[in-house]
Amino acid sequence: MKTILIIALLLLTCQAYPQGVFESSLSGGSDSGNSRLSIGGYTRGAAFLGIIPEQDPYLQSLYAETSIKMKYNGGSWGGAFTDIRFYTGSEYNEKVHKMDLREAYADFNINRLGLRFGKQILSWGRADGFNPTDNLTPKNYFVRSSEPDDLKIGNILLRAQYQALDFLRLEVDLVPWYAPSLYRFDLIEMPAFVRINPVVQPGFAWDDGSIGAKADLIFGLVEGALSWYSGYDHLPALAPGAVTMSPTEGLDVGINQIPYRQQVFGADFATTLLGTGLRGEFAYKVPDTDSARPFKPNPEFQWVVSLDRGFGPLRLVAAYNGKWVKDFIPADAPGEFDPAILADPSIWPMLEGMFANQIGYYNRILFDQTHETSHTVLFRPSLQLFHESLEVEAAVIWNITTEEYLLYPKVTWKHGSGIQASMGYQHYAGPENTRFNWIKDAFNGPFIEFKASF
Amino acid sequence: MSRNNNYHYLFNTMKINYLMIATGLLGFGLGCFGQVTPSAREVMERSRDQAKLSGLESKTTLEIFDGKGNKRVRETTMASRLFSDGTEKRVIVFLAPADVKGTGMLIFDYPDKPDDMWIYLPTLRKSRKIVSTEKGKSFMGSEFSNADLAVGGIDDFTYQFEGSEVMDGVDCWKIRMTPANATIAAEEGGTGRITWVAKKDYMPRRTEFLDKSGKVYKELIFGGIKLIDPKGGKYFVTHMEARNLKSGRYSIMNMDQVAFNPSVKEEYLTLSFLENQ
C-alpha cells in the first residue's frame, strides 16, 4: 500500500507541458491544462443470491469493492495506467479480502511504433458474444459481477503495435509467463472421492512463453484482421492424477489441471450493411502434439457471425456460433460410479482406466467438444427508456446441439452523475453432462448492485 | 458463463457524432455576400458548404433538464481536421459522467460517400465499426435529436423564403424547410421546419419544428456566435438550446473551450489513438 501511495504522489508532482484543448481535456486537467494525471474509478456494493431447487436461497456473494484508476498522459511519447481494486466480502461461503493490481502498464511511443509493457488485458476479435480469436489473456469464469469486463484478467506482457500504412496495423504480443483462467471446479458437484488439484504451472523458460501476432486491415467499407497465436490455452485441460485406494481410508482420485499449448489461426471482419452492423470471426485451433500432455481437446474450427441493429429505442444483437471438431470420435457420457462397486477392492485395479475415461469426457464438456458439430445462438435485445436513464435488456444464449441455455434479464437505472443501480437474474440450465448444468448451482439466482463511478 | 457485452454505451455514444457535425456546420458562415439576394436554397447551401473548418479542438458540456428541476450533465472533447481530399476526420472522447468516461468515437466524414464511424468502449477494450444512421433518435437522452445535429443532405428539403425578421436583435432571413419526400418526412415526424438565418454571417439563430398539424412543438436556439477564424471569416456557434414545447424538457449545449487549429495532430485521428487514449 505504501508503495502505491508513493507512486501516486510521484505522479501527482509531474509538471505540465503546453497542451491544446483536446489533449488538456483528455488529461483531466483544469482549464489551464496544468495536470497530466487523472484519477477515477468506482465503488460498488453487490449481492448475489443463490437459488438451488429444493433448498433455501443463500448468499452466493456479498461484497464491496473500490477501484482506483490512475492514468498519466505523457503526450505523444506515451503514458501509464494503473487499476487497483480493493475487495472485501464473501464468495460462496468464504470470506474474501483482497487487493488486486488488475492492470499496471506503461506506454512508450516512437513515431508509428507503440509499445505497451506491464500487466494488461487484451481483447481480440470483432464478433459479438463469442470471440474464438481472443486467446492472449486469461479469464475468471466464476467472477460475480454484472459487468462482462470483470471476467477478464490481466497478464504481464509486451505489446507492440506498428502502424505500417494508413490501412494496415501490425501487432505482436509477447507473453513470457503463463497465467491460468479461473474455473471453480470446487463449486461443481462431484463425487466425494474426487480431488481437483491446483493448476500445474509451466516453467519460466522461453519455450513456456506465448506469442500472438495480428494484422488489422482497415478499409472504409469493411475492416478485418488476420491473427495467429502460439501458446498456452489459459483454460487448463484435466488429466488423471494420483489414485489411491486404501481399505482404511477408501478411495482418493486426483484430477490434475494441466495447461496445454496450441496454435490458433484466426480471422475476423466488420462492416455495415443496410443500417445493420455485420461482424464475423473464424478460428482454427490446433493443440500441439505433446505426449506428456495426452489430455487436451481435438483440433477444432469455430465460426461466428453477428448482427446488431437499432430500432428506435430498441437495439438487437444476434449472433450465431458454430463449431466443428476434427478427428471426432463419438463417445457416450460415462455413467456415475456406484459406491457399492467402488467399495469392492477387487475392481480397484480397473479403476484408473475408468477414471481416465471419465476425465476424458469431462474435457469434452469443458471445451465444448461433446459433439462433432455444434451450434449456439445468442440474442440480446435492449431497450432504452426515459431518456436513456433506464435500460432493460435480456440476453439469451442457447446451444441448439447440447440444449444448454442461459437467460439473463437485467434492468439498469443510471443517474447522469455516474450513479447506477442494476438488478437482474441469471439462469443457466442444461441436461446432465453439460457445462451449464455443471455451473447452474453456482450462478442461478438474482442479484442487485449499486455503483458510483468517479 | 455469460460473455455478452455492454452495447448500451454503443447506442448512446454513437450519437455524439451528430452533435459535433452540427456544431461544425452551424459554426460556419460567410462573412458577407454581394448585394444580390441569394435564393433560399442558396442561403442554406452556402452555409452548408462553409460548414467545415480546417481544424478544431473543443470541449463541450451538455446539460439535460427534465422540466422538474433535475439536471444531467455530459462532457466531451473533440478534435477535427479537414484533409485535402475533402474528408473531415473527427475524434470525440467522453469526459463525464464517470461511468462513460473514456468512451470515444472516430468519424471519417467523406464528401462523396457515407461516413465511416467507429466507437471505442472501455468496457469492451476494442473499437467497433458502427452504423451512422438513426437520425430521429434522441441525442444522449437530450432534446436534441441526431437529425438536429447532423449536416443532412441539401436535397433532403425544399426551401422557401418567408420574408425577413429580426431575431434576437439580428436581421434574418426566415426560411421554410419542407421535406423533399416521404422518407424524409417520416424521419422528421412532422411537416417541416422554419429557420432564421442571419444575413450578416449566414449563421442560424433559431429553428422551429412543426408537427403534423403545423404547430410548433420544438425549437432550437443558437447563440454565443463567435468569429473563430478571422482570416477565413469563419464563425462558430458556442451555445445551443433545444426546447420541447410539449413536455417542458430542454437541453443546453455549451462549447466551453474552442480552439481553431488547422494543425490538429493526425495521430489523434486514428483507431490506434482511439483505443489507447
Enumerate the domain spans of chain A: 186-453
Write down the pLDDT at residue A296. 81
**pLDDT beyond 80 at B23:** no
* Better-predicted residue by pLDDT, B234 or B30: B234
Contact in structure between B195 and B216 (CB atoms under 8 Å): no
User: Is there a contact between A130 and B123 if contact means CB atoms under 8 Å apart?
Assistant: no
User: Is there a contact between A388 and B141 if contact means CB atoms under 8 Å apart?
Assistant: yes
A–B interface: beta-carbon pairs under 8 A:
178
CA distance B194 to B174: 7
CA distance A286 to A229: 10
- Region A69-77: what's the mean pLDDT? 88
CATH topology of domain A186-453: Porin (2.40.160)
Q: In chain A, count H helices and then E strands.
A: 5, 21
Is the CB of B263 inside 8 Å of chain A's CB atoms?
no
Mean pLDDT is lowest, of A201-210, A257-266, B262-271, for A201-210
The predicted-structure confidence for A363-381, as pLDDT tens digits, reads as follows 999 999 999 999 999 999 9
Write down the pLDDT at residue B112. 77
**pLDDT beyond 60 at B26:** no
In this prediction, does ipTM exceed 0.85?
Answer: no
**The three grid cell numbers given for residue A176, joined into one nine-digit string:** 513470457
Amino acid (1-letter code) at residue A349: P
Q: CA A159 from chain center: how many Å?
A: 19
* Better-predicted residue by pLDDT, A42 or B9: A42
CA distance A310 to A286: 38
Q: Nearest by CB to A277, which of B59, B130, B140? A: B130
Mean pLDDT score of chain A, rounded to an integer?
Answer: 89
pLDDT above 70 covers what percent of chain A? 93
Residue in chain B lying closest to A416 (CA): B72
Write down the pLDDT at residue B25. 40
A76-94 b/e (C-beta count within 10 Å ≥ 16 → b): eebbbbbbbbbeebebbee
Contact in structure between B108 and B87 (CB atoms under 8 Å): yes
Write down the pLDDT at residue B149. 66
Q: Where are the domains of chain B?
A: 8-276
Write down the pLDDT at residue A291. 58
Query: Pick from A170, A172, A168: which is nearest to A158 by CA?
Result: A172
Distance from the B205 Cα atom to the nearest Cα atom in chain A, whole angstroms: 26
CA distance B218 to B40: 22
CATH superfamily label, B8-276: Lipoprotein localisation LolA/LolB/LppX (2.50.20.10)
Write down the pLDDT at residue B16. 38
Write down the pLDDT at residue A226. 98
Write down the pLDDT at residue A370. 94
* Better-predicted residue by pLDDT, B211 or A17: B211
Mean pLDDT score of chain B, rounded to an integer?
Answer: 80
Residue in chain B lying closest to A411 (CA): B8
Distance from the B43 Cα atom to the nearest Cα atom in chain A, whole angstroms: 31
Residue B144: pLDDT band (50, 70, 90) is: confident
Distance from the B47 Cα atom to the nearest Cα atom in chain A, whole angstroms: 26
Contact in structure between A268 and A283 (CB atoms under 8 Å): no
Greatest CA separation for chain A: 83
Q: Nearest by CB to A426, which of B2, B116, B265? A: B2
**pLDDT beyond 80 at A343:** no
The predicted-structure confidence for A91-131, as pLDDT tens digits, reads as follows 998 999 999 999 999 999 998 999 999 999 999 999 999 99
Contact in structure between A138 and A182 (CB atoms under 8 Å): yes
Is the CB of B211 inside 8 Å of chain A's CB atoms?
no
Is the CB of B183 inside 8 Å of chain A's CB atoms?
no
φ, ψ at B186 (rounded to 5°): -65, -40
Write down the pLDDT at residue B51. 64
Q: How many CB atoms lie within 10 A of CB B31?
A: 14
Mean pLDDT is lowest, of A44-58, A225-239, B126-140, for B126-140
**pLDDT beyond 70 at B189:** yes
Distance from the A245 Cα atom to the nearest Cα atom in chain B, whole angstroms: 35
CA distance B70 to A416: 10
Residue A286: pLDDT band (50, 70, 90) is: very high
